[in-house]
Structure 1
Amino acid sequence: MELRRARAGVATLFFTNGAVFANLAPRYPEVKADLAMGDAVYGLSVAAFPAGALAAGLLAAMLVRRFNSRVVAVVGTAFAAFALLAAGIAPTAVAFALALFAAGAADALTDVGQNAHGLRVERRYGRSIINSFHAVWSLGAVVGGLMAAAAIALDASRAVHMSVSTLLVLILAFGAYRYCLPGPDTAPVEAASAPVTTNHVNARVVLLIGALSLVGIGAAMIEDVANSWAALYLRTEADASATVAAFGFIALIGGQFIGRLLGDGLIDRLGQGAVARIGGALIIAGFGVALSVPVTWVMLAGFVATGFGMATLIPGVMATADKIEGLRPSTGLTVVSWLMRIGGLVASPLIGLLSEVEGLRAALFVVPVVGVVVLLFSGAMKGKA
């Protein structure tokens, strides 16, 4: 019973983490227009989110060991919710960027906290369940995106919309806290899984972290495209309405949700590496179609395929990193999670600058390139959970 309650608690934390940001992301084109930002300035502004994550991310392992993962996850969620509310009502581009920086810092702590707790529960289960948690994150993101689309259709102000979403997220996150596993994350029952008390870093560990980080950075770049550019791409290339454009984000994350629902079973059957290679091929094909045929329904179908392809990459990278031999609990997870944020930091400024010169459609060809990178380095994600 305790284990099932803990799984439900962790799933709720993943849901809130997906929903809180997704309520704002589909309204980015509106923010961009209201604050009179060009593509380059907009790209730099939204890059403040991963910049904040990079600034705070390496503190996560220390905080998890000091306070335990459920505390870090819940408190981080609360701070992220308030920061995103501030971003939604920001009066200037600078204020928008500063709020996103704070939200990114909080999200980095939440990310490690909830994944550390999810992997703790997974170890108790003795089989792969981490993708199911990330599926719930994607479900939360879809729900958040639908809330945003509804708010746009109803002409609700961002202040009202984001205030409501913040309140709902806080209720769910603090409610989930009591269901999570009690005690420190290095409790005696888990001692056999995490006996290392000091880090032993060698060339093998460095190379493995590097390869995992490249896959994770690629996946993070695609998530940033979903968050920051999918809706804008539909508006500019397919002349979609604001409400329809919001479904660009929903299609990508919806495909990711389906992939994560199926992910644990596929990984148990085929292994992490094989599933990652299939994902890389789907990213290349799906986004290639979305870029080649500027018709709304075709673009949305390509987004769904891309989301399905990227579905297991981030949870797979995190699960593999958390099991690297010779590292203290949460160290591999924290380092790789931190490095993955580079993807989000680089993606938006790069796409924004390329868009100013070549147009948004040409700039988004970075996504199929990411698929190639995944194919090349997926071998780092070996084994079955």
Structure 2
Amino acid sequence: MAPTLRTARTGISLFFFTNGALFAGMLPRYPEIKAAFEISNTQFGFMVAIGPVASMLASTLPAPLIRRFGAQHVALGGTIVMAAAIALAGVAPATGLFALFAAALAVAGFSDAIVDAAQNVHGVKVEDAYGKTIINSLHAFWSLGSTTGGAIGAAAAALAVPLGVHLGVMSVVMVGVAALATWLGRIPGHRDHEEGDADVATAVDPAPTKLPKGAWGLVLPMVALAVAGALAEDVAANWSALYLVQVVGVTVGVGGLGYAVMLGAQFVGRLLGDPATDRWGPVRVIQVGGAMIALGGALVVFVPTVWTVMLGYALAGYGCATIVPAAYAAAGRLPGLPEGAGITLVSWLMRIAFLATSPLIGSVADLTNLRVSLGVLMLGGLTVIALAGVVRPVDDDS
């Protein structure tokens, strides 16, 4: 079948879906993994930080790999390695070897950083070929993939499917989908590896250039906004299932649905985010999003029943949908910065900030309890409201 723009968009959308689903399948089963290794909340917080630490180490690799082999080939190769690592993580708890599980998480996080950069590079190329904005819908497919992976993980937990079987089968299936996505994602008249890849790949280098004087004062508020908005996603990935099981008292299968609910709401929010931003402007949309995160956090902390917690997760997921994309877009438009430098800095500094969030939540939970520690959702929502103005376009005086 000859490639077309429609098939190329389908292919890259499937790739974002696959990337979201792969890691998400394991997250609803974190309570089982925590219990298998008999670790505290603080230790659990450090455990889930292994992936982000490894992703930091991979940050210098995507650009040269993409320039050498092409974005699609790098994304597929990284997905294969990531899937193998997740399958290995699935069998580690049964062996009791925490070091094996930690190594698998590190390899998965390392590979994920490479895949994330490569799929975004190819997504930009498909968008350029289309001649209209599609990047937000691509990220919506990542959210949809995460929702699907989380739902599958919750169902596997409810049915007591062995973790190794669940993650092994899911890894094989997702590699197959990624291979199909790579074939479909070909752009008409474009080879995967050519000079255009080098042009786009410069945006993923972690240390762009020396910044002009005063640039840090513009970038850091955007980083703070992005971190505050992404806290909801971080809580969903690492703590939602544990909270539902330990505090609300649901089964592991039901607890795993918390992540799927939050990411499903984020998927809807991202689909509706573009028209909402066009109509009301990014500042107002983000302020409303911050209020939804804060309200959702209040429901989670103060009314810990299964329905109110799920509603709280949904509100937080919908509210955070447009915050990180808006921060990236605003950083990309900062005057006086080299092309790609603003976005790269925000992404780089966000990764550094998130190295501390889960260990901090775990430590607060051990000193107090999980309800107190998840109050970070309310704090994040209020911070979003306070910082929403940093995404206002430079020529917008309103």
The normalised TM-score by structure 2 is 0.87
Give the 3 Å change call, closer, same or farther, for CA 344–132 of structure 1 in structure 2: same
Residue number in structure 2 paired with 1:318: 328
Which shows bigger deviation, 225-234 or 364-373?
Answer: 364-373
Residue number in structure 2 paired with 1:276: 286
Give the 3 Å change call, closer, same or farther, for CA 327–171 of structure 1 in structure 2: farther
Residue number in structure 2 paired with 1:146: 151
| CA deviation map 1:27-65 (0-9, x unaligned) | 000000011111111111111011111121243334334
Amino acid at match of 1:120: K
For the pair 1:203 / 2:200, whether they are aligned, the reply is no
The partner residue of 1:187 within 180, 191, 196 is: 196
The offset of 1:322, in angstroms, is 4.5
Residue number in structure 2 paired with 1:214: 224
Distance 1:254 1:185 in 2: 36
For the pair 1:24 / 2:33, whether they are aligned, the reply is no
Residue number in structure 1 paired with 2:318: 308
* Counterparts of residues 119-138 of structure 1 (less than 5 Å): 119-138=124-143
Residue number in structure 1 paired with 2:12: 10
Residue number in structure 1 paired with 2:100: 95
The offset of 1:200, in angstroms, is 6.5
The offset of 1:214, in angstroms, is 1.9
Residue number in structure 2 paired with 1:48: 50
The offset of 1:186, in angstroms, is 5.6
The offset of 1:168, in angstroms, is 1.0
Distance 2:215 2:5 in 1: 32
The offset of 1:330, in angstroms, is 4.8
The offset of 1:160, in angstroms, is 0.7
Residue number in structure 1 paired with 2:72: 70
Residue number in structure 2 paired with 1:254: 264
Distance 1:306 1:185 in 2: 41
Which shows bigger deviation, 271-280 or 295-304?
Answer: 271-280
Same amino acid, percent of matched pairs: 39
Residue number in structure 2 paired with 1:290: 300
Aligned length: 378
For the pair 1:160 / 2:160, whether they are aligned, the reply is no
Residue number in structure 1 paired with 2:112: 107
Amino acid at match of 1:154: L
- Answer yes or no: is the 8 Å Cα contact 1:69–1:185 preserved in 2: no
- Answer yes or no: is the 8 Å Cα contact 1:145–1:250 preserved in 2: yes
The offset of 1:299, in angstroms, is 0.7
Give the 3 Å change call, closer, same or farther, for CA 66–172 of structure 1 in structure 2: same
* Counterparts of residues 173-184 of structure 1 (less than 5 Å): 173-178=178-183, 179-181=185-187, 182-183=191-192
Which shows bigger deviation, 109-118 or 203-212?
Answer: 203-212
Residue number in structure 2 paired with 1:116: 121
The partner residue of 1:235 within 223, 245, 257 is: 245
Matched residue of 1:227: which SS?
helix
Matched residue of 1:37: which SS?
coil
Return 5+ residue gaps in structure 2 as ranges.
none
Amino acid at match of 1:187: G
Give the 3 Å change call, closer, same or farther, for CA 317–65 of structure 1 in structure 2: farther
- Answer yes or no: is the 8 Å Cα contact 1:84–1:103 preserved in 2: yes
Distance 1:81 1:278 in 2: 37
Give the 3 Å change call, closer, same or farther, for CA 376–118 of structure 1 in structure 2: farther
For the pair 1:348 / 2:358, whether they are aligned, the reply is yes
The offset of 1:379, in angstroms, is 2.8
Give the 3 Å change call, closer, same or farther, for CA 222–113 of structure 1 in structure 2: same
Which shows bigger deviation, 17-26 or 200-209?
Answer: 200-209
RMSD: 2.5
- Answer yes or no: is the 8 Å Cα contact 1:22–1:145 preserved in 2: yes
The offset of 1:348, in angstroms, is 1.1
Give the 3 Å change call, closer, same or farther, for CA 78–352 of structure 1 in structure 2: same
| CA deviation map 1:174-224 (0-9, x unaligned) | 221131433457639x89xx9xxx857313543343233222222333222
- Answer yes or no: is the 8 Å Cα contact 1:112–1:333 preserved in 2: no
Give the 3 Å change call, closer, same or farther, for CA 61–374 of structure 1 in structure 2: farther
Matched residue of 1:57: which SS?
coil
- Answer yes or no: is the 8 Å Cα contact 1:120–1:185 preserved in 2: no
Matched residue of 2:133: which SS?
coil
